[in-house]
Chain A
């Protein structure tokens, strides 16, 4: 938790930018510049792949953060929306020849609809019970995916290869188009989060997280706003699912619907800092390269080493800094 005094200036929507135009703007510009030039400095596919994964998982974690970090509804079933986005666009493309970009939009629509069907009954559950329900739903959906032949069943779906083009959403010669597409999606997700923080929606989400009964006492319909939160969250996760399908060109229930994906997304946000704009990105930037490093170092013999390190990190964060790394920095800055 933060210190004794809080960010009154955050109440003024214009305040942070107008009062501190210096370091914040410079850092943001430097970050954007670094993101833009990265693929031209690091030309190896491996480096670009790691960067793309950081962006993808940062977006998933940020989307999770909208529901869980800001609104306080801890979901451990977000892989459902990831899989929904991936399968919707892929099936539409393979069976009916839809353009993958239209498939992406369709995936978002289906995931948002599904989020409402899941959310409406589940939001009656509080705290841990909601989290347990999302695990159960995730397992049910994965089991359905494994047994539903229409979407490839356990064998999965292999995307037909097409010529490199933005319209076809496939790039084989170089990964850099994927890099910029994913960077754009992440930027959009962060922009939406930034906007949410500064509007009534963000204040309502935080009030619901803090105390649902008190939030109701000031006229906030908690079910309505939780449903809005899960809809926004599901939309971005589904977009991530479509991106993943187009990037890897193969999907099966084990890769897009596993519980481990839901937990990973949660871990990234928790380590970086839930309920903060930059926490999920920091968590992904720290843990995804770590995961890649341990995978390379230990290969098949050390498949769970990254998870051991994750576990140690998570335990440390829970014990020493429950607000995550960004929360720790905010406290140092006296916010």
Chain B
């Protein structure tokens, strides 16, 4: 059984169709990359899956649980964590407190939540910045903080929206290693939105490509990278050549 099944999701904003009849499934343990040009509907799809936007049509299933109609907090408590494209740390809380809040879903006592939060901060290599206010972190640190915060809710499925967006080149390998460890050490299933093609192709088991709200390709990275529609809509001809450098590369 698929861990996540997206079935015919359509989401409209007035006359704009952000998602049009999108369907795909994510198997347990997979890392699925979600790619597409700006405005393709990737982040909207995350919002629909996690309960922030109600879809106009279609369904989303997390194993046997229907997600449509549930609030974001209910979706999270089922076992789906997420990060945001536009970073949303609790700015006037410390780094440690940010993660403690998430850990408190399973550990109500602050002392226990603190211990658990420290473990996640160590995982993302932010333990030494625990007493800083989150608003004072740089972009790369905030990305890692959001990752730790999402992990602290103990999800089984993690949706990561633009992990490397706005992050300097030196930090990207660290984030990639973290994502690889999330599956290896934590046994998580991941859906990752990413514009950096080298990144997404290297970490994903499967790629789902969106264009103008529709799925135009779904398959292994090697096949999607050569797909004519994906190249025309997003990657460009340069990516198809061996030495090419696609978007974000």
Closest Cβ of chain A to B4, distance in Å, is 16
- Interchain CB contact under 8 A, B76 and A13: no
A11 adjacent to B81 (CB under 8 Å) = no
A residues near B109, Cβ cutoff 8 Å: 13, 200
Residue of B92, B117, B152 with most partner-chain A CB within 10 A: B92
Also in contact, A6 and B152, with CB within 8 A (given A204-B104, A221-B73): no
In the assembled complex, the CB of B156 is this many whole angstroms from the nearest CB of chain A, namely: 14
A200 B110 Cβ-Cβ under 8 A: yes
Give B51 Cβ to nearest chain A Cβ, in Å: 8
- Among candidates B72, B77, B117, residue contacting A213 with C-beta atoms closer than 8 Å: B72
| Contact assessment for A11 and B84 in the assembled complex, using a CB-CB cutoff below 8 Å | no
Q: Which of B25-33, B35-43, B132-140, B224-232 contacts A (4 or more CB under 8 A)?
A: B132-140
Are B132 and A200 touching (Cβ within 8 A)?
no
A215 CB within 8 Å of chain B: yes
Which of B90, B92, B96 makes the CB contact (< 8 A) with A11?
Answer: B96
A277 smallest CB distance to B (angstroms) = 16
- Among A4, A11, A213, max chain B CB count under 10 A is at A11
Given A2-B133, A204-B101, are A14 and B111 also a contact pair (CB < 8 Å)? Answer: yes
Chain B: interface residue count, which band? 35 or more
- Whether A206 touches B90, Cβ cut-off 8 Å, given contacts A1-B135, A219-B153, is yes
The minimal Cβ–Cβ distance linking B91 to chain A, given in whole angstroms, is 6
Q: List 28 A-B contacts (CB under 8 A).
A: A1-B135, A5-B131, A5-B133, A6-B131, A6-B132, A7-B131, A11-B96, A11-B117, A13-B111, A200-B109, A200-B110, A203-B97, A203-B100, A203-B104, A207-B93, A210-B91, A210-B93, A211-B88, A211-B91, A213-B52, A215-B73, A216-B51, A217-B50, A217-B76, A217-B88, A218-B153, A219-B76, A221-B73
- B residues within 8 Å of A by Cβ? 50-52, 71-74, 76-77, 81-82, 84, 88-97, 100-102, 104-105, 108-111, 113-114, 117, 130-133, 135-136, 149-150, 152-153
| Among all A-B residue pairs, the 6 with the closest Cβ atoms | A6-B94, A8-B131, A210-B90, A216-B72, A214-B88, A218-B102
Chain A residues within CB distance 8 Å of chain B? 1-8, 10-14, 198-200, 203-204, 206-207, 210-211, 213-222
